[in-house]
């Protein structure tokens, strides 16, 4: 497997690439969390829906906003091709080989145990799937990782891209309340299957709530993380000194 080779300058370089791309391609990026604060004394595992090419960029944006030391499991073929993402904390997984996949899970567990305030990102669907396809089907890697690092926290995260009144789309990100995995829970018969089903349910609920909030234009509990470069209509309006049309 390919291990993470995170170092400050490499992380900064990858960050410049990510922020530049996000700024160029999105009109606004919104984020909300359904918890008062993210616990930093326990291992943190974020389980996100895998719906677009942007998912790794979303992970980088969120972990830096939350000021957490993040690592991300990435398909081995992709990481070999884009090796520089290892500088920002990506490590590889090869799901076609069970022993190799478990090696990646064990490596992720060591990362989480080494230092408080770390998180590992997983996309348990294992492949990019349209945002509204149901039911969600997850691999059991997150449950394995939680069992190796318990007590640990499994956070559901949902993301959605939506075109609104601008040339470029908006990106919405929502972090849900975590599932606490204790040592007693991890020893229960059928834990892996039960935990995986719970994750499928919690990520589905977060996705459905996010979809409903976006459709209803409910943004009061979102934080605006980034505003992208001006689209054609905003440039044209500013040149003609027109007042911008209010967004709904």
Phi-psi region of 203 (alpha: psi -120 to 50; beta: other; left: phi over 0): alpha
Q: What is the mean pLDDT of residues 219-232?
A: 88
Percentage of residues in the chain having pLDDT higher than 70: 93
What's the confidence (pLDDT) of residue 37?
Answer: 76
- Those residues whose C-beta lies under 8 Å from the C-beta of residue 173, and which sit 6 or more positions away, are 29, 30, 31, 32, 58, 61, 62, 157, 158, 159, 225
CA 186 to the chain's CA centroid: 24
Q: Which domain holds residue 89?
A: 8-239
Residue 98 lies in a domain: yes
Residue 244 lies in a domain: no
Give the position of tokens 């001006």. 230
Higher pLDDT: 97 or 92? It is: 92
Q: Please write down the HEC assignment for all residues of 5-40.
A: CCCHHHHHHHHHHHHHHHHHHCCEEEEEECCCCCCC
CATH of the domain at 31: 3.40.1130.10
Which token pair is 125? 């669907």
Q: What is the mean pLDDT of residues 104-132?
A: 94
Q: Judge whether residue 75 has pLDDT over 80.
A: yes
Residue 35 lies in a domain: yes
Which token pair is 134? 């149901």
Rounded CA-CA distance 219/121 in Å is 25
Give per-residue pLDDT as tens, 14-35. 999 999 999 999 999 999 998 7
Q: Is the pTM of this model over 0.85?
A: yes
Strands 69-75 and 152-162: unpaired
Residue 215 lies in a domain: yes
Nearest to 76 by CA among 47, 58, 96: 96
Minimum mean pLDDT range among 71-80, 123-132, 217-226, 238-247:
238-247
What's the confidence (pLDDT) of residue 36?
Answer: 74
CA 14 to the chain's CA centroid: 16
Q: Judge whether residue 244 has pLDDT over 70.
A: no
Q: What's the chain's average pLDDT?
A: 92
Residue 75 lies in a domain: yes
Q: What is the mean pLDDT of residues 41-65?
A: 96
| DSSP single-letter state for residue 35 | S
Nearest to 71 by CA among 16, 115, 125, 112: 112
Rounded CA-CA distance 177/206 in Å is 9
Residue 245 lies in a domain: no
Which token pair is 26? 């999105």
Residue 126 lies in a domain: yes
**Domain total in the chain:** 1
């Amino acid at each position: 497997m390919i291990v993470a080779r995170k170092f400050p300058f490499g992380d900064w370089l990858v960050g410049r690439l990510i922020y530049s791309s996000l700024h160029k391609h999105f009109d606004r990026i919104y984020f909300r969390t359904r918890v008062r604060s993210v616990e930093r004394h326990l291992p943190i595992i974020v389980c996100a829906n895998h719906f677009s090419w942007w998912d790794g960029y979303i992970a980088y944006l969120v972990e830096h906003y939350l000021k957490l030391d993040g690592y991300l499991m990435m398909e081995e073929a992709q990481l070999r091709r884009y090796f520089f993402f290892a500088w920002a904390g990506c490590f590889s997984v090869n799901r076609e080989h069970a022993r190799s996949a478990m090696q990646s899970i064990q490596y992720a567990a060591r990362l989480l145990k080494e230092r408080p305030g770390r998180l590992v990102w997983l996309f348990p669907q294992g492949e990019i799937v349209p945002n509204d396809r149901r039911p969600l089907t997850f691999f059991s890697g997150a449950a394995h990782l939680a069992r190796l690092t318990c007590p640990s926290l499994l956070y559901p995260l949902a993301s959605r891209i939506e075109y609104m009144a601008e040339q470029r789309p908006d990106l919405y990100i929502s972090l849900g309340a975590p599932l606490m995995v204790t040592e007693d829970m991890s020893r229960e018969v059928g834990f892996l299957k039960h935990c995986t089903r719970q994750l499928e349910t919690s990520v589905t609920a977060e996705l459905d709530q996010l979809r409903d909030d976006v459709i209803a234009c409910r943004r009061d509990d979102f934080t605006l993380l980034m505003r992208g470069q001006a689209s054609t209509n905003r440039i044209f309006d500013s040149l003609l000194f027109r007042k911008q049309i209010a967004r709904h």
